[in-house]
Amino acid sequence: MTTDLYCVMGHPVSHSRSPWIHTRFAELTGQQLQYDKREIPLDHFDRSVRAFILEGGRGCNITVPFKFEAAKIASHTSERGLLAQACNTLTFKDGQILGDNTDGMGLVIDIERNAGLSLKGLRLLLIGAGGAAAGVLGPLLQADPAHISVANRTLHKAAELVARHVPLAAQRHTELEAHTLHGFGAPFDVIINATATSLSGASVPVAARALKPGALAYDMMYGPGAQGFMDWAQAHGAVPRDGLGMLVEQAAEAFLIWRGVRPPSSQVLAELRKLMQG
Ligand code: ATR
């Protein structure tokens, strides 16, 4: 039996846990595959993808900074990829490049299944309007919260992101608003940090008045970078959660697309958390 090839492409990519996660998924589901990481020169994305296809690659995950380019080279893009205007999962099939974005679904599954909080009917604050926020707004709307405010340092970017999602929000009967980092109204049940603040070591971008008592405060980062946000959330009576579960669940969604099998993601998340703490 031949071994199917997959990889994660990014720049940088040396820190990526995706090879470990997918290799573990494959072991636990009895799938034969090899999953590597490839650091791609910044101006070589297109040709690197095509070279990987020629080598027999079956699919790849795409990370920073290539998710927007990935959406552009795809011959077909899923609805959630189109809304995000970014893809984190490419599948190579019958000469086509199929683009999808599993980040938002990964976030929603981590919150609803792993953290045990249904988003239905809740008030959400999504902080940020860059690629990370764009990747999750559609799936968050599909979880039927009552309200989502998107707050960003640069208001017009939040307004653009919101405008693109107005038809979906109307369909789901979810109130959707754009604000500055100070302009949002009543406190929220869930706040999600999708800015680059944890990556750069900058302070938490919103005031604690955003938090209802016991709110879930989620940072899409994981590891030491997320600690400042987690400590802030804890100090203000919120329940902190980092993005490690989102990482594993977005990988599980990609694995399902590629292999047609849902891997035991909760088990792999528990193992990865232990590995990172050890
Ligand atoms: P990514 O793909 O990781 O989302 P990005 O597209 O560059 O990266 O977006 C970064 C996000 O973090 C943006 O929402 C950015 O706000 P602006 O749109 O105003 O630039 C936000 N961001 C970065 N540094 C920030 C800071 N110090 N305080 C608040 N927001 C910040």
Residue nearest to atom 16 of ligand 1 (CA): 153
- Which CATH superfamily groups domain 4-101+245-277? Leucine Dehydrogenase, chain A, domain 1 (3.40.50.10860)
pLDDT tier for residue 122 given thresholds of 50, 70 and 90: very high
Ligand 1 binding pocket mutation candidate from 66, 67, 126, 195 (most atoms within 8 A of CB): 195
Ligand 1 binding pocket mutation candidate from 87, 153, 222 (most atoms within 8 A of CB): 153
Question: Which of 144, 148, 178, 143 is CA-nearest to residue 163?
Answer: 178
Give pLDDT tens digits for 21-39: 999 999 999 999 999 999 9
Query: Got the DSSP string for the chain?
Result: -PPEEEEEEESS-TT--HHHHHHHHHHHHT--EEEEEEEPPTT-HHHHHHHHHHTTEEEEEE-TT-HHHHHHH-SEE-HHHHHHT--SEEEEETTEEEEE--HHHHHHHIIIIIS----TT-EEEEE--SHHHHHHHHHHHHT--SEEEEE-SSHHHHHHHHHHHHHHHHHHT-EEEEE-SS---S-EEEEEE-SSHHHHTPPPSS-GGGEEEEEEEEES--SGGGHHHHHHHHHTT-EEE-THHHHHHHHHHHHHHHHS----HHHHHHHHHHHHH-
Residue nearest to atom 6 of ligand 1 (CA): 130
Instruction: Kindly state the average pLDDT of the residues 215-222.
Output: 97
| The predicted structure's pLDDT at residue 236 | 98
Percentage of the chain beyond pLDDT 70 is: 100
Give pLDDT tens digits for 157-213: 999 999 999 999 999 999 999 999 999 999 999 999 999 988 888 899 999 999 999
Question: Ligand 1 in contact with 18 (CB < 6 A)?
Answer: no
Strand partners, 151: 127, 179
Cα of 205 to ligand 1 centre, how many Å?
A: 10
Output the pTM of the full model. 0.97
- Which CATH superfamily groups domain 104-242? NAD(P)-binding Rossmann-like Domain (3.40.50.720)
So where are the chain's domains? Answer: 4-101+245-277, 104-242
Extract the tokens encoding 263: 């891997």
| The predicted structure's pLDDT at residue 211 | 98
Asked if pLDDT for residue 1 goes beyond 70, the answer is: no
Q: In CATH terms, are 4-101+245-277 and 104-242 the same topology?
A: yes
Instruction: Kindly state the average pLDDT of the residues 215-237.
Output: 96
| The predicted structure's pLDDT at residue 66 | 96
Give pLDDT tens digits for 42-73: 999 999 999 999 999 999 999 999 999 999 99
Cα of 65 to ligand 1 centre, how many Å?
A: 13
Question: Which of 261, 248, 237 is CA-nearest to residue 107?
Answer: 248
